[in-house]
Structure 1
């Protein structure tokens, strides 16, 4: 990319920063007021907790602010401009209460006193409760994507939803980047899982979309979060239910490329609830043609061309199951326990024709070797996740203690085989097979405490222990003279342990009469790593991780945020292992036990505005600098000697700390309701990445991603959606990454009072394959790879919700967890 384009990109980002900052500070409002009160049951005089308080401008039909009452029925709605308002209080099973002509003065508090809710005197029969949640919610420390109305993801998996999430890009192989960074910390329900450690792409393809409640994107995590992940954190929240009664759902889908199904069952009575789920999926076998052409030159001027052409068959399967238990022991004590079992696997096989041709500087052929390579691989991974969480609240509002224990146990197995047949008559085939079983265990113990010192000043502190243990073995046999014999140079085993000790302190406050909200934190993490790799001593290290967020609410409809955080990427066991993997003699890989952790300093400026009528725009400009940048680098060798054996025409790939990387960019998300029935959403990312490597010229690459989501409601519970996505190609330190085009069409019809639905989806319906072309180059070699990836698919999905829901308002609980003065429940289907 030219210097002019780089400068242009930076000037655009600087201009954006200046405009948003000027807009934020120039529109500083007059001091705002508050509305407070207490909601109680008109019959029993008991507090009504979690009642919904809505604030309307007098004479306006739609609310512009609101809040839920606390466990004692109290509420305070702040940041209210001076004026006249209408206040409503609602809760299921009660009649709405409205308070008109509420006057709010600048800087003052209007106390409504006791707001009474009267229970409904009749039993509800057929009640349909419809909760409209915004597709994207922007919060001070994260962005939340809610896929409930995501038609094109119906019958899909987690990776299909991630393609829609702002600030996230997904390539054709399921590799995920957050603001252009692939080093992301993935969580399930806020907890780590060993399911992600074995194969991230397989894990994300094993979670059905129907099982996902929301996806949280944290680009600037605070001190409370683990420091791992220079790109940030993606937290996948699975569905559960806290509604009284017995209910559930069934989801089934079938298609030309993928099939899956899920079952949810929720049971809750009084203070105790249980959620059970099972989901399974399979990707039907698909065939992907590919070619690779590598040209290299040796020290004598001879040129070798290695041309490979073949195809790979691939299929995948997986399932998940789990039980979640909740027990409200008393009004101040809650206990939650969960156990989950996950499995996924894949099977691939391929056939590749290889032609290795060598000529001298005059073009005279020195050799021409034609071979046929047959390969096969199988992977199977299981994980069991268990957790126990205890939450204690106190009489003081906002004061709470959280204790969490979680463990994840993984058991993985990988096997592969390769047979190489020289097509010249009379030659004997050679081959290699290996079996790689492994086990891993990750245990986390965390304690978090929140203490509100005053109304505008809160302290959070806590600590965490993170212990990770891996045991891995590789047994390799080589085919010689028609018989498999042990290959001791490629047979090995290791034990790997990593312990992380963390402590953090975080402060939240409001200054200048609530004009500016500030959250500052510091986290300290000490890492101890041991492994019995040959001749290896991995150093320990301590890292301080600061974070700082400034947030200003310009008005009720717009806000601005400026944040800074430091993140790290620890090299994992595969990066550290010095063992040389020679399963493919032309492409060898290894690790380096002396790798240091990568450190990332991330800055982000965000602006969010909501408009009358439901439109919303979010702009996030970001700058990231990684030092000791971890990058994979390929070096070409004419000949390479390993353990007494010499290999020719070899590419050796290894991960290095390669100087630094800088990335600046902007993400723009917008949602626009064109009409009541027609809605458009778009997400755009533009960024430039510069890699600075000592001894080599810096490499810059500009990239962008554009997508458009259009949804139309035809009425009569029939709706349709179109989703299109374009990822541009990007230059890397040793080549270019391919572009990616994807589009999806979907329809859904709901019936049986919205309890059931049927959906149709089509992905890339007019093209069977997506072509992917990438290049890699370095000293003495140049390589081009082309893949044809089959992503065309057609599918149908069915969904059904069942069960009877009981909406009951619990009264104040006694110290033993019992309830006092319970009212008869209003019931409905």
Structure 2
């Protein structure tokens, strides 16, 4: 009995002692490169209990090199800091207790190991997809099946991103996306996002950042969010580069990158090119229209040939001066374009007169588009001895010149007599300049204030000269009713503030707000009257809440407001009459689209087994902008009256509501087999205020599966399959889309070289796309047979020599000791 009492007493005393031990201790610090003094992102920090060889816990550094380990029990510990290509460091005898609960080890500078790139073996790599606090990062360098393709081939594998057969991109079900390259805007994207993305070789892309709910620091433009394409660079000392060449049945491309660094100064240069070989698309459509006196059927059937090219070249530098000052700059040149021609047979039948035969005609068209621009940027960043205190000033500008020429002729059959023709020449100039200032100030522990401002200037000058065919004289003469000049000037002034802080030890919060003032001054020479667009103010709040549960679970809740300003091409009232039965026109009365989005996210790190991410979202769009068809029995443009036509414009149709989820899983079955899958689905409800009774509900989804198998450490194969469901808009159904690809890569020359074979949709030459559109007085059934099968082979060669000199600074003075 006495023994039992003694055991109970000692047990209670043990529990009391254990209860008195604090578990709210914290270790924090910064890890950087000892030579360049630049922060090292994803450096590993491991914590060992004294006398133990097994790590108790750990973390990795963020993009600023900062790390923090929380909820540590009282005790004496050893800290080990490691990063690939650098010598590890050990900090011994770190004591944590009630009187010393927070240990700041300040800055640890890791010494790079002297190494030759050609003999480096990477044994630990970052994940293909990383889920950060405010964005998701897709590391495209690890994607072998996209290696011979273009940017759209990479994007289609990114969670929440979908690509249709024409290369149009949607993010979380929205096409309103703010595209950036290396964090900077470009006039090229304002010209044609699809053409630019299909002209950037995938081999040139390092990673893609996706931000579905941008914070106050980011522009409010982009209803769906922001996609930032990061091109390949390297910050290691020495020189290195890579060469990539691809030959294929549908795409051919190549890229060359070179990086060099000496101490605190580095330069990089690149050149890349892409050629989409000529392909033929077959199309047919039947349009049924009805007016007060007749029913009409328009049947069109034809073929079109298309070819695209793109060339990019650029250079950049970065320089760190006296540790706290860094200056970087870049300049790049882009040349994109495409050519095409088409032949269409047309039959128009009307029951206005019984027995009247169909009117047969043939349409021949051709077009050439070119866009050339120069992007330049300069960035200054000032850091301070105080952690997280930063000042950043940047200036980015982009100058572009584009030219669009087209010709269209229509002849009656069977005599083949020309009765309609249009020739147009449309040169234009575009300039976009941004000046930005950002400043962050730590107010106290874990509380950081960020403020900033931005001024953006967007200017467009364009001229369209149109000649029309005169059957009487059989000559082309200027058509002043279609020719026009436009001047479009947009200014956006922005201020923002945001603060991040912990809430009672429960979760981390970041709350901010952005104010933008938009002023537009436009002139359209052929408008019946000029539409003055008043300036408007936009206040964009954002809220982010994040809770980390243990070492492997993270929950995030966020809200943001976004705006989608209509572009000048949407506002320009110019009427395109190349196809006299299907006209297109701009709408100068468009209002900006406003979106509100709430997102709840959960992520689970499975360690070596992979990861899982789940996102639930709700988005509502006010003044929703969509393409809109209207049927007219007769429509007058200048002195010409067009009969039995549809006019395609963009309209504020009303309100759109989206409720959906995205599930991503990355599972490593074993050391050789890995599986990735993404399921994105949402329900869309559109309230049509233009045509009563044309509201609609639809269920949309996207599913893909990626499997990769490593036969040996130099031979790997990959399969990717993707299905996009049919898309429903205000006036009908756009087709579903299925893609699949297979790739195999063999590395050689000690992994300096590689050959990759890729095949896309190799079981059939064409993808059939059926479209059904309808509205008051009309319906359209269309079919396009688009060539999509492609086979390509890619050769990549990595070269370089990375040499490092040991930094003689005394690490002991910074609280760090060499690893034993």
TM-score by length of 2: 0.90
- Correspondence for 1:87 among 45, 63, 79: 79
Q: Quick check: 2:111–2:807 contact (8 Å CA) kept in 1?
A: no
1:531 paired to 2:526: no
1:592 shift after superposition: 2.4
Asked if 1 retains the 8 angstrom alpha-carbon contact of 2:117 and 2:800, the reply is no
Task: Return the alpha-carbon distance in structure 2 between the equivalents of residues 448 and 522 of structure 1.
Answer: 14
Residues 124 and 377 (structure 1 numbering): CA distance in 2 closer, same or farther, change over 3 Å?
closer
Q: Does 1:696 align with 2:692?
A: yes
1:406 and 2:402 matched: no
Q: Which moved more, 1:581-590 or 1:216-225?
A: 581-590
Structure 1 position 349 matched with structure 2 position 341: yes
Report the 3-state secondary structure (helix = DSSP H, G, I; strand = E; otherwise coil) of the residue aligned with 2:802. strand
CA contact (8 A) 1:48 1:809 kept: no
Distance 1:642 1:78, change over 3 A: same
Q: CA offset at residue 731 of structure 1?
A: 2.0
Aligned to 1:642: 637
Deviations 1:457-505 (Å, cap 9, x if unpaired)?
1110010000001000111111224322111111111111000011001
Find the aligned partners of 1:120 and 1:228 in 2 and give their Cα distance: 41
* Equivalent residue, structure 2, for 1:803: 800
Measured at CA, do residues 476 and 664 of structure 1 come closer, stay the same or move farther in structure 2, by a change above 3 Å? same
Question: Alpha-carbon deviations, 1:375-432, whole Å to 9, x = none?
Answer: 1111100110000100001121110100000100010011111111111437344311
**Structure 2 equivalent of residue 543 of structure 1:** 538
Residue 466 (structure 1) aligns with:
456
Cα pair distance change 1:718/1:125, threshold 3 Å = closer
Partner of 2:434: 444
Quote the residue 1:562 is aligned against: 557
Deviations along 1:661-703, one digit per CA (max 9) or x if unpaired, are: 1001000010000111000001110101111122523211111
- Counterpart of 2:712 in structure 1 is 715
**Which residue number corresponds to residue 624 of structure 1?**
619
**Counterpart mapping for 1:743-758 below 5 A:** 743-758=740-755
Shift in CA distance, 223/787, structure 1 to aligned 2, threshold 3 Å: same
Residue 390 in structure 1 maps to residue 380 in structure 2: yes
3-state SS of the aligned residue for 1:87?
A: strand
Partner of residue 478, structure 1: 468
- Count, aligned residues: 779
Greater shift, 573-582 or 242-251, is seen at 573-582
8 Å CA contact 2:241–2:798 kept in 1: the answer is yes
Unaligned 5+ segments in structure 2 are: 1-21, 814-820
Pick aligned residue for 2:781 from 779, 784, 789: 784
The match for 1:419 is 409
Distance 1:121 1:31 in 2: 37
Q: Does 1:517 align with 2:513?
A: no
Q: Which sections of structure 1, spanning at least 5 residues, go unmatched?
A: 1-29, 814-819, 821-829
Q: Distance between the aligned counterparts of 1:704 and 1:399, measured in 2?
A: 44
Q: 1:113 to 1:405 in 2, by over 3 A?
A: closer
Bigger CA drift: 83-92 or 433-442? 83-92
1:201 is paired with a residue whose SS is helix
Q: Structure 1 residues 95, 375: closer, same or farther in 2, change over 3 A?
A: closer
The equivalent residue for 2:604 is 609
Q: Quick check: 1:53–1:87 contact (8 Å CA) kept in 2?
A: no
Check the 8 A contact 2:117/2:801 in 1, yes or no: no
Report the counterpart of residue 210 of structure 1 in structure 2.
203
1:455 to 436, 445, 449: 445
In structure 2, C-alpha distance between the alignment counterparts of 1:584 and 1:730, rounded to whole Å: 26
Q: Alignment partner for residue 151 of structure 1, among 112, 121, 144? A: 144
Q: Which residue of 2 aligns with 1:8?
A: none
Distance of 1:187 and 1:260 partners within structure 2: 22
Helix, strand or coil: the match of 2:576? coil
Structure 1 pair 89–382 and aligned structure 2 pair: CA distance change class (3 A): same
Q: Secondary structure at the match of 1:161?
A: helix
Q: Secondary structure at the match of 2:142?
A: coil
1:730 aligns with 2:727: yes
CA shift digits 1:726-777 (9 cap, x unpaired)? 0011222101010000000000011111111110000011100010001111
State the Cα RMSD in Å.
3.0
The superposition leaves residues 439-472 of structure 1 with CA deviations (integer Å, 9 ceiling, x where unpaired) of 1000000000000111121110010000001000
- The answer to which of 82-91 and 469-478 deviates more is 82-91
The 5 Å alignment of 1:492-511 reads 492-511=484-503
Assess, with a 3 A threshold, how the Cα gap between structure 1 residues 528 and 45 changes in structure 2: closer, same or farther. Answer: closer
The answer for the alignment partner of 1:189 in structure 2 is 182
Match of 2:262? 269
Residues 178 and 221, structure 2, Cα contact 8 Å, conserved in 1? yes
Kept after mapping to 2: 8 A contact 1:86/1:100: yes
Counterpart-to-counterpart distance in 1, 2:112 and 2:457: 53
Deviation at 1:68, TM superposition (A): 4.4
- Compute the TM-score of the two structures, normalised by the length of structure 1: 0.89
Q: Measure the CA separation in 1 of the matches of 2:174 and 2:467.
A: 38
Query: Alignment partner of 2:700: what SS?
Result: strand
> Is contact 1:39-1:69 (8 Å) kept?
no
CA distance in 1, matches of 2:270, 2:500: 38
The residue that corresponds to 2:366 in the other structure is 376
Offset, 1:652 = 1.1
- Kindly state the Cα deviation for residue 628 of structure 1 after the two structures are TM-superposed: 1.1
Q: Secondary structure at the match of 1:365?
A: coil
1:304-340 Cα deviation digits (max 9, x unpaired): 1110011111110001100001111221111101100
Cα displacement string for residues 282-325 of structure 1 (whole angstroms, at most 9, x for unaligned residues): 0010111110110111212x221110011111110001100001
- In 1, Cα distance between equivalents of 2:92 and 2:355: 93
8 Å contact from structure 1 (residues 772, 786) kept in 2: yes
For the 8 Å contact 1:357–1:365, the answer to whether it is kept is no
